[in-house]
Amino acid sequence: MPPTSARVTAVDTHDVRFPTSRDLDGSDAMNPDPDYSAAYVVLRTDAGDGHEGHGFTFTIGRGNEVQTAAIDALRPHLLGRSVTALCADPGTLYRDLTGDSQLRWLGPEKGVMHMAIGAVVNAAWDLAAKRARVPLWRLLADADPEWIVGQVDFRYLTDALTPDEALALLRRRREGLAGRRETLTRRGYPAYTTSPGWLGYDDAKLTRLATRAVADGFRQIKLKVGADLADDVRRCRAARAAVGPDVRIAVDANQRWDVDEAIRWTRALAEFDPYWIEEPTSPDDILGHAAIRRAVAPVKVATGEHAQNRIVVKQLLQAEAVDVVQLDAARVGGVNENLAVLLLAAQYGVPVCPHAGGVGLCELVQHLAMFDYLAVSGTTEDRVIEYVDHLHDHFLDPVVIRDGHYTAPTAPGFSATMRPESIARYTYPDGAYWAAEEGNTTA
């Protein structure tokens, strides 16, 4: 039994960048050459149990050092904190961080500072689950509804969802939990794949990867669109030919359009029966999404990976602006704020289909989606987790995809731990990879 006097003794940060821009993996209409990166944080303690809390924010390259500096700014809130108290109630840390009045000015609750809070809060949850010797989805699903509600900050939400309403929702969902857990363990959670659809891939690669996705058991794929309409028509046609009429094809514009353009463009792709149009315009434009949704039905509107916080999600739901909420594990204030997102979506009866890909986002979001299935929404109908098949090897407990489904993780924690050798090699700019790169460039 670790001593209850154990404290957080160190907050290590790492600027880790992977050179993904070389193969146009991850290329889309707004992000032509991302270098998938992580502003990575490790919470260490003197508990003597060998457990660390790992967390990170995902970025796409430049500016990752700013994100790391933002995590560093949170260090005084962490050092000396009781490990037992932190793990018993990560919500207090979350409130202390978002409530720091001076740091709050830098958002509030948005952008670099909020993403830093998310990384640290997620690291605390990783530590809590490791110390409890369970995967995070189980820690959440086993928790009392009262405790879950206590982890949520309802500030600015009560016109849409009160603590009492959230509690009632969670209590109702206790029914059938055992059966859902059995289904989850046996079958996993449905996934869709974006791997075929990057904008930088040619048609042959798109067709080959789409065909393989169906053979691998996926029932939905996603294509990036929005750079050139003629290209998009051609690519959608090729994809539809490859997957047949029954597999869903989502399209993703990555915020490329104004409202009117989004409506025109989406209608021009309608003949290929897109399932949803994702990020048709600015992630800040709640009213814009509502206008687009009214105009492009029955094509669904999806957004959320850049939704800065629960207040934006609340309004997307209030305005009937979205058919699909795409939570992101590492943009908002960590697990605590994503509990609010899951509860809001359930309150409005809108499915959550998490955003993933990047670095380690698949590893994180699976826990949230599985908790959603078990204890919040109670269903996987019309729900899928995004899957992209790169960079998983850098994690100690990478996701396991089987027949188009995420397998429920069994290792304790939040699946967030990156291999030490990957951190060392890809640390920017001094890790072995980048140091050699610099040598090549200047040679």
Q: Contact between 93 and its own copies (CB under 8 A)?
A: no
- DSSP one-letter code for 419: P
Q: Does 224 participate in catalysis according to the annotation?
A: yes
With contacts defined by CB under 8 A, name the span among 296-304, 312-320, 364-372, 428-436 that binds its own copies: 312-320
Rounded CA gap, 214 and 314, in Å?
35
Cβ distance to its own copies smaller for residue 77 or 212: 77
Q: Contact between 295 and its own copies (CB under 8 A)?
A: no
Pattern 53-82, binding to its own copies, x per CB under 8 A?
------xxxxx-xxx-xx--x---------
Q: Measured at the alpha carbon of residue 247, what is the angle toward residues 321 and 218, in degrees to the nearest 5?
A: 100
Q: Contact between 319 and its own copies (CB under 8 A)?
A: yes
Q: Contact between 258 and its own copies (CB under 8 A)?
A: yes
Contact yes or no for 399/128 (Cβ under 8 A): no
Pattern 102-131, binding to its own copies, x per CB under 8 A?
xxxxxxxxxxxxxx----------------
Q: Contact between 1 and its own copies (CB under 8 A)?
A: no
Q: What is the dihedral of CA 316, 322, 325, 328, to 10 degrees?
A: -60
Contact yes or no for 326/353 (Cβ under 8 A): yes
Residue linked to tokens 């009214």: 294
Q: Contact between 200 and its own copies (CB under 8 A)?
A: no
Q: Contact between 337 and its own copies (CB under 8 A)?
A: no
With contacts defined by CB under 8 A, name the span among 6-14, 85-93, 173-181, 309-317 that binds its own copies: 309-317
Q: Contact between 259 and its own copies (CB under 8 A)?
A: yes
Rounded CA gap, 265 and 378, in Å?
35
Rounded CA gap, 263 and 222, in Å?
19
Contact yes or no for 47/6 (Cβ under 8 A): yes
Q: Does 394 participate in catalysis according to the annotation?
A: no
Q: Is 7 left (phi over 0), alpha (psi -120 to 50) or beta?
A: beta
Choose, from 114, 130, 224, 314, the residue flagged as catalytic.
224
Q: Contact between 267 and its own copies (CB under 8 A)?
A: no
Residue linked to tokens 């051609």: 234
Contact yes or no for 206/197 (Cβ under 8 A): yes
Task: Return residues touching its own copies (CB under 8 A).
Answer: 30-35, 59-63, 65-67, 69-70, 73, 100-115, 155-159, 255, 258-260, 281-288, 291, 306, 308-309, 311-312, 314-315, 318-319
Which are the catalytic amino acids? 224, 355
